[in-house]
C-alpha cells in the first residue's frame, strides 16, 4: 500500500474537491483520481461517494480517515527524523561560488576551510548570483555568496565578509589613464562596460550615478573578462571591484583608477537558519563566521 496514496486520501477528505487537492499536492487531477481508485481497490471498498457535481466520504471512508491521518502524520515524523539524522551526520558538502570566485576575495576562506576539515567530502558549484539564488530556493544549496544589496537576501540571513570598492579600468593610452582618480561626473561622459547585466554590482554602480544626478552611458553589460577585452580594444571604460582590478595587475594595457565619490559595497554569504543546515554546512558557516565583518 502506497503511503503517498493514504496522504492524498486524507487531504482529499479535507478538501472534498479533486481539483483543489491535486493543486495543493502538485499532481494532476487524473493522477489523484487514479491513486484514490488504487487505494479503494486495495481496501476493497469505496472511500468516497461521487456524483457529477459533488464528492463526500462514504461510511467506510469516514471510518478509515482517522487512521489515514495517523499514518500520514507518522510518515511525516519519520521523514523529519531521518532528514535530521542525515543533516547531523552528513560528511559531504556542496559549496556554492560566484562565477570567477578569484575576483571576490573569498577563495582563500574556502581553501582555509578545506585545510581545517580534510575529512569532509565536498564539491563546488558555480553560477551567477541569480543562478545561485535559484539553487538556494530549490534547496540544492543552503549557503550561497551574494552582494549585500541582492534582493533575494530579504528571505534569509546574511553574513558580510568582504568590504570593497569599485574602480575604473582604462586603456593605458586613454587621456585619464595618467590620473590617480576619476569622478563619476567624468565617467558619465564615457562609454561604460559593466559586469553582469542586472547584477547587484551593476545596480550599485547605476545607483551611485543617480545620486550624483548623472546618467551613465552603458554600452555593454556582460562577463567580467568580456569587459576587459573590450577595454583593450578601446571600446570603453569598465567599472569593477578592486579585487578584480588587482587580478589584472599584469595586464600592461590596462590601468585602474579610484572613483570619487567612492562606490563601496559588501559581499558575503546568504544562508538559512543554522538549525536547518547539515552538520557539514554548520561547520562551514562557523568557519566563515571567523572572517565576518564587524
Per CATH, 3-89 and 162-265 having the same topology is answered: no
Helix (H) or strand (E) holding 255: strand 254-260
* Among 211, 219, 195, 210, residue whose Cα is nearest residue 267: 195
Structural Rg of the chain based on CA atoms:
28
CATH 2.102.10.10 fits 3-89, yes or no: no
Span 82-97, pLDDT tens digits: 766 655 655 788 899 8
* 3-state class (DSSP) for residue 155: helix
**Entry pTM:** 0.66
Kind of pairing, strands 191-195 and 217-222? parallel
What would the pLDDT profile of 198-237 be if each residue is shown by its tens digit? 789 999 999 999 999 999 999 999 888 899 999 999 999 9
Q: What's the 3-state SS for 257-284?
A: EEEECCCEEEEEEEECCHHHCCHHHHHH
At residue 146, φ and ψ (nearest 5 deg) are -160, 160
For 144-201, what is each residue's pLDDT tens digit? 999 999 988 987 999 999 999 999 999 999 999 999 999 999 999 999 999 887 789 9
Q: If you ran DSSP here, which 8-state letter would residue 138 be given?
A: T
State whether residue 55 is helix, strand or coil.
Answer: strand
Q: In the numeric block, which cell numbers belong to residue 71? A: 499514518
What is the arithmetic mean of pLDDT over 117-123? 86
Average pLDDT over residues 255-269: 95
Tell which residue, 184, 196, 188, 217, has the closest CA to residue 103: 196
Residue 170 near residue 257 (C-beta atoms within 8 A): yes
Domain ranges of the chain: 3-89, 92-161+267-289, 162-265
- CATH tag for 92-161+267-289 (out of 3.40.190.10, 3.40.50.2300, 1.10.10.10, 3.30.1490.190): 3.40.190.10
192-226-270-151 Cα dihedral, nearest 10 degrees? 40
Distance CA 2, CA 10 (A): 13
CATH fold of the domain at 162-265:
D-Maltodextrin-Binding Protein; domain 2 (3.40.190)
pLDDT score of 88: 60
Amino acid at each position: 500500500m502506497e503511503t503517498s496514496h493514504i496522504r492524498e486520501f486524507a487531504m482529499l477528505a479535507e478538501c472534498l474537491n479533486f481539483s483543489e487537492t491535486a493543486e495543493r499536492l502538485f499532481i494532476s487531477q487524473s493522477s489523484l483520481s487514479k491513486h484514490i481508485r488504487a487505494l479503494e481497490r486495495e481496501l476493497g471498498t469505496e472511500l468516497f461517494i461521487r456524483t457529477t457535481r459533488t464528492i463526500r466520504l462514504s461510511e467506510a471512508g469516514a471510518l478509515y480517515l482517522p487512521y489515514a491521518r495517523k499514518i500520514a502524520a507518522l510518515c511525516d515524523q519519520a521523514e523529519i527524523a531521518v532528514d535530521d539524522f542525515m543533516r547531523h551526520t552528513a560528511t559531504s558538502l556542496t559549496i556554492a561560488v560566484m562565477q570567477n570566485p578569484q575576483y571576490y576575495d573569498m577563495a582563500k576562506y574556502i581553501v582555509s576551510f578545506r585545510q581545517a576539515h580534510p575529512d569532509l567530502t565536498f564539491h563546488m558549484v558555480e553560477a551567477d548570483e541569480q543562478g545561485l539564488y535559484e539553487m538556494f530556493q530549490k534547496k540544492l544549496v543552503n549557503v550561497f555568496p551574494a552582494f549585500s544589496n541582492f534582493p533575494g537576501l530579504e528571505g534569509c540571513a546574511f553574513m558580510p565578509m568582504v568590504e570593497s570598492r569599485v574602480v575604473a579600468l582604462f586603456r593605458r593610452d586613454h587621456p585619464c589613464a595618467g590620473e590617480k582618480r576619476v569622478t563619476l561626473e567624468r565617467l558619465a561622459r564615457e562609454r561604460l562596460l559593466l559586469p553582469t547585466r542586472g547584477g547587484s554590482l551593476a545596480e550599485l554602480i547605476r545607483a551611485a550615478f543617480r545620486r550624483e544626478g548623472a546618467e551613465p552611458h552603458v554600452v555593454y553589460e556582460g562577463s567580467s573578462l568580456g569587459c576587459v577585452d573590450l577595454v583593450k580594444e578601446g571600446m570603453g571604460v569598465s567599472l569593477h571591484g578592486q579585487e578584480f582590478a588587482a587580478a589584472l595587475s599584469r595586464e600592461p594595457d590596462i590601468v585602474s583608477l579610484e572613483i570619487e565619490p567612492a562606490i563601496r559595497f559588501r559581499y558575503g554569504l546568504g544562508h538559512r537558519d543554522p538549525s536547518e543546515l547539515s552538520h557539514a554546512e554548520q561547520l562551514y558557516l562557523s568557519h566563515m563566521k571567523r572572517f565576518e565583518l564587524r
